[in-house]
């Protein structure tokens, strides 16, 4: 999977003391004293603006917060704008191409953890549920800290480091999935009696991602229109669908586990691209992207199967797929030669068609006939006879609840995965699958994708279930890597084409559902053996 995202290192520190202190007094001191606590209790809104540097890319931001649980932040980098928000119930984002989606899983958790601290819930426990405990004193780079372990909303632990002399919370570390995220708080100033860090530096350990924020203006207790926090309902208009038809059939080549589609890029260059629901953006193969004089609008981190890569984000005029067209979109540019180095029918390899294509239309994949049926989103009605499986998006990738031999977990659905079911390292270790599964063997060759080449084992599971879809006697792949996607602690695995090809599968992002239609090779509950080689 190739998720482009903003996340945010700390060297390991040694605890040297665990003497109890009065945490209530420490927390009061950290915000500026009793008068500041009273000001926080009466605060009705918080507004801020300033500068941001994301992976070396300068921009501007605005931020709005209404206690205890309304939040909105907008980052603007030239022609590109990214939004994340929470309305008290729904977390959502607007991506670089203006597409709005709900946030679930650890992405939603990250927003809620932020809100726990933004609302100072450790001072006001009636705002958000949570707990905390003193861990002792530590020394890092000659500075002594009080370390406090917070468990906001009873989720993952966040370690807060309070400077012993000033009492300020100057450092914190948490985890976004398997990535340690470290936030440094500097240059404290007073606003309305509050002691506020006006410079934040956020770094992701093990990924090429960093962000620095500098607050230039902060306003308290001014009215904020609450509609800004609400999930927008406006539909994307950056695509074209032919007039007067309900669907378009596109033929593809299914080769080496990849769905390969012919495309025309920027109206001039014919190429072929891989259909990849595991890609959070369309991504151009760098060797092809370099042919165009494309504006670079920034750099982001791409999460691959084994590690992270830095990706340039470029402005693209158009991608045409048959009579369908995507217009004026931001895409990634990355060396994808390890995924598919060879061409097809003389046309160059163009890259990956991901979320920015798949989310615009309901799309039926027929592996046996090598066709995509792309439906008009304005008139679409699904055919009867299929098994619906709800999904949510994890980093803009469809994610389903599944059971492997009865063991529950969240599995992404990845049309770019040429294998069958890939079981992630943490899930395999947590359930001791090497001992529980049959025919565990080391794979004879390494596998690769975005990130790096990794090794692993194969094994057989008795059953894998997604809703009413049951597959029995399934061969799975268990990578050895503890990094990148394979090292995810939130996701149990990755469902690829060698499983999905047993069905005609409809992807309906607007309806947050997959529909599995049987072919003559398989019934939904047939119990047949289905090897995913």
User: Is the pLDDT at 14 greater than 60, yes or no?
Assistant: no
pTM of the model as a whole:
0.84
C-alpha 510 chain-centroid distance: 18
Mean pLDDT of 325-350: 81
Residues 6+ apart with CB under 8 A from 268: none
- Please tell me the predicted confidence (pLDDT) of residue 528: 36
- Please tell me the predicted confidence (pLDDT) of residue 486: 58
Helices 23-31, 34-42: inter-axial angle, 10-degree rounding: 70
| CATH superfamily for domain 3-229 | Lipoprotein localisation LolA/LolB/LppX (2.50.20.10)
Q: Which of 313-322, 360-369, 450-459 is predicted least confidently? A: 450-459
- Band (pLDDT 50/70/90 cuts) for residue 297 is confident
As a whole number of angstroms, the distance between CA 210 and CA 8 comes to: 6
How does DSSP classify residue 450? S
User: Residues of CATH 2.40.70.10 domain(s) within the chain?
Assistant: 239-375, 387-518
Which of the pair, 395 or 482, is modelled with greater confidence? Answer: 395
Closest to 132 measured CA to CA, from 140, 121, 143 = 121
- Please tell me the predicted confidence (pLDDT) of residue 454: 56
Number of residues assigned to the chain: 533
Residue that has been written with the tokens 């098994």 in this structure = 387
As a whole number of angstroms, the distance between CA 475 and CA 401 comes to: 19
- Please tell me the predicted confidence (pLDDT) of residue 122: 92
Mean pLDDT of 419-432: 90
Mean pLDDT of 313-327: 95
As a whole number of angstroms, the distance between CA 163 and CA 299 comes to: 33
- Band (pLDDT 50/70/90 cuts) for residue 230 is very high
Q: Which of 27-36, 269-278, 433-442 is predicted least confidently? A: 433-442
**Mean predicted lDDT score pLDDT of the chain:** 86
User: Residues of CATH 2.50.20.10 domain(s) within the chain?
Assistant: 3-229
As a whole number of angstroms, the distance between CA 489 and CA 486 comes to: 9
User: Is the pLDDT at 8 greater than 60, yes or no?
Assistant: no
- Please tell me the predicted confidence (pLDDT) of residue 10: 32
pLDDT tens per residue, range 478-511: 887 655 555 577 899 999 999 999 999 999 999 9
Mean pLDDT of 238-248: 94
Residue that has been written with the tokens 């799309």 in this structure = 363
- Please tell me the predicted confidence (pLDDT) of residue 480: 76
User: Is the pLDDT at 455 greater than 90, yes or no?
Assistant: no
Structure tokens at 119: 């609302």
Residue that has been written with the tokens 């890597």 in this structure = 481
As a whole number of angstroms, the distance between CA 372 and CA 356 comes to: 16
Mean pLDDT of 386-404: 95
Which of the pair, 474 or 300, is modelled with greater confidence? Answer: 474
Mean pLDDT of 234-240: 85
As a whole number of angstroms, the distance between CA 371 and CA 110 comes to: 39
User: Is the pLDDT at 344 greater than 80, yes or no?
Assistant: no
As a whole number of angstroms, the distance between CA 69 and CA 75 comes to: 20
Mean pLDDT of 66-84: 93
- Please tell me the predicted confidence (pLDDT) of residue 303: 58
Q: How many helices and strands (H and E) does the chain possess?
A: 8, 38
Classify domain 387-518 by CATH number: 2.40.70.10
Share of the chain above pLDDT 90, in %: 63
- Please tell me the predicted confidence (pLDDT) of residue 525: 42
- Band (pLDDT 50/70/90 cuts) for residue 337 is confident
| CATH superfamily for domain 239-375 | Acid Proteases (2.40.70.10)
């Amino acid at each position: 999977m190739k998720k482009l995202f903003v996340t945010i290192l700390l060297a390991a520190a040694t605890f040297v003391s665990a003497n109890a202190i009065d945490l209530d007094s420490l927390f009061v001191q950290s915000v500026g004293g009793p008068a500041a606590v009273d000001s926080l209790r009466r605060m009705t809104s918080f507004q801020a603006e300033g500068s941001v540097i994301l992976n070396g890319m300068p921009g501007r931001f605005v931020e709005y917060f209404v206690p205890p649980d309304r939040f909105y932040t907008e980052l603007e980098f030239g022609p590109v704008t990214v939004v994340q928000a929470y309305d008290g119930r729904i977390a959502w984002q607007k991506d670089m191409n203006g597409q709005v989606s709900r946030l679930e899983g650890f992405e939603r958790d990250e927003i809620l953890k932020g809100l726990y601290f933004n609302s100072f819930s450790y001072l006001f426990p009636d705002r958000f549920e949570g707990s905390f405990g003193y861990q002792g004193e530590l020394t890092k780079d000659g500075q002594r800290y009080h370390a406090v372990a917070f468990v906001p909303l009873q989720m993952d632990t966040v370690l807060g480091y309070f400077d012993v002399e000033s009492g300020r919370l100057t450092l914190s570390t948490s985890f976004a999935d398997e990535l340690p995220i470290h936030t440094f708080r500097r240059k404290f100033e007073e606003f309305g009696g509050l002691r506020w860090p006006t410079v934040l530096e956020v770094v992701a350990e093990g990924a090429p991602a960093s962000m620095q924020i500098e607050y230039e203006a902060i306003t308290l207790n001014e009215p904020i229109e609450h509609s800004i926090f609400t999930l927008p309902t406006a539909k994307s208009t950056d695509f074209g669908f032919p007039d007067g038809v309900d669907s378009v059939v596109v033929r593809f080549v299914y080769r080496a586990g990849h769905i390969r589609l012919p495309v025309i890029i920027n109206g001039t260059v014919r190429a072929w691209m891989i259909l990849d629901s595991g890609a959070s953006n369309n991504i151009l193969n760098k060797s092809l992207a370099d042919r165009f004089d494309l504006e670079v609008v920034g750099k982001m981190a791409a999460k691959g199967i084994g590690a992270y890569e830095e990706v340039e984000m470029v402005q693209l005029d158009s991608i045409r797929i048959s009579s369908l067209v995507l217009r004026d979109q931001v895409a990634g540019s990355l060396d994808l030669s390890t995924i598919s180095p060879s061409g097809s029918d003389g046309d160059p390899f163009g890259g990956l068609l991901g979320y920015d294509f798949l989310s615009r239309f309901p799309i039926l994949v027929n592996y046996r006939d090598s066709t995509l049926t792309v439906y008009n989103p304005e008139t679409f009605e699904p055919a009867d006879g299929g098994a619906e499986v709800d999904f949510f998006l994890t980093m803009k990738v469809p994610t389903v609840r599944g059971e492997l031999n009865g063991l529950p977990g969240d599995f992404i659905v990845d049309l770019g995965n040429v294998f069958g079911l890939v079981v992630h390292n943490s899930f395999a270790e947590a359930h001791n699958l090497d001992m529980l599964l049959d025919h565990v063997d080391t794979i004879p060759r390494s596998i690769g994708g975005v990130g790096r080449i990794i090794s692993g084992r194969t094994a057989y599971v008795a059953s894998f279930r997604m809703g009413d879809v049951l597959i029995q006697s399934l061969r799975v792949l268990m990578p050895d890597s503890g990094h990148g996607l394979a090292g995810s602690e939130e996701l149990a695995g990755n469902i690829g084409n060698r499983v999905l090809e047993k069905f005609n599968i409809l992807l309906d992002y607007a309806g947050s559902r997959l529909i599995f239609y049987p072919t003559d090779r398989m019934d939904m509950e047939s119990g047949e053996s289905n090897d995913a080689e």
